[in-house]
Amino acid sequence: MLRYPLEEEPYVVSFTSTTVDGEELTSECFSQSKISMLNVWATYCNPCLSEMPDLGEIASSYDSAEFQIIGIVSDVAEGDDEETVQGVKDLIEETKADYPHVLLSESLYMNLVGAVDSVPTTFFVNQKGEALCYVMGAQSKESWIAIIEDLLSKCD
């Protein structure tokens, strides 16, 4: 179900976090693609895990200047033990979700994930980091592509 933000003023997503590989990633990454998809998922969530192979295929089929996917692991935080983070890496590898995944940070929680009622929830933002819309629940590959193409068609 596609939902649009209710605020009259655009909501700008701002965060600093660490990827599962230990690299810093900030909301500045949005400027690198016309549309960014922020997929909030959890390690215990079967619908999340079942859609990740499709998301991996989608991520690799677009030029990163047009579209990128960033996974947000909602139940593993920065600073969690190495074994827990390795478990996340294993899930990413098993599902072939070959795109950046960030661990939950305070800024991600305060500015985005804290408002999420269920996983997966997916947000789409433009190059300025403005939230365009969000989708609750897992979708088929075809549904994701239709949403992405629609959003890209509305870009400058």
Label residue 6 by pLDDT band (50, 70, 90): low
pLDDT reported for residue 7: 57
The DSSP symbol for 13 reads P
In the predicted model, is pLDDT for residue 119 greater than 80? yes
Residue 83 burial (C-beta neighbours within 10 Å; 0-12, 13-18, 19+): exposed
Label residue 50 by pLDDT band (50, 70, 90): very high
pLDDT reported for residue 10: 79
> Vertex 101, ends 11 and 96: CA angle to 5°?
130
Q: Which of 149, 150, 136 is nearest to 51 (CA)?
A: 136
CA distance 95 to 67: 20
In the predicted model, is pLDDT for residue 1 greater than 80? no
Query: pLDDT digits over 84-94, tens only?
Result: 999 999 999 99
Q: What is the pTM of this model?
A: 0.94
- Percentage of the chain exceeding pLDDT 70: 94
